[in-house]
Structures are given as C-alpha cells and as structure tokens.
Amino acid sequence: MYVDSFSTINILQQVSLQKADGEQLTWLSKNAVTKNHPLKAYQANWVKPTISSFSLDDDSELYYRLYKPYNI
C-alpha cells in the first residue's frame, strides 16, 4: 500500500490510499470543489498560468509560473 498525492495547476491536492498494484482503496482527502467548497465561487475565473524559464549570465536557469489577471 502507498499514499498517492495528486494535483495540477487547476486541481486542488487530492490524497488517496492505493494498493501496490495501483488500485485505489479510498480517498484520504478528495478535496473536490463542490457547491459548498469555499473556492466554488471563484472556480469559473481560475486562469491557467504561463510556465516557463529564462537563463542568467552564469548559465543558471530560473523557472517561473506567471498568473495573469483573468480580464486581460
């Protein structure tokens, strides 16, 4: 058995208990955005961020996630 944690840029973290073969046994934290969830009123305005990187003069690379306002 193992605990699996999953999230994406627009899906809140979800945690479940899995069998060794990957079969899900149960949710530990489903965290679904239902009509009673505090974020439900804002979900329609969620924006997908721009994810990218840039290099510095010393050849190190910096990664970033940029959220632009919804109405732009």
Q: Is the pTM of this model over 0.85?
A: no
Average pLDDT along the chain: 91
**Residue 64 above 90 pLDDT?**
yes
Q: For residue range 33-63, what is the model confidence (pLDDT) as tens digits?
A: 899 988 888 888 888 889 999 999 999 999 9
**Residue 27 above 70 pLDDT?**
yes
DSSP line for the chain: -EEEEEEETTEEEEEEEE-TTS-EEEEEE-----TTSTTHHHHTT--PPEEEEEE-TTS-EEEEEEPPPTT-
**Residue 9 above 90 pLDDT?**
no
User: Looking at residue 68, what is its pLDDT?
Assistant: 86
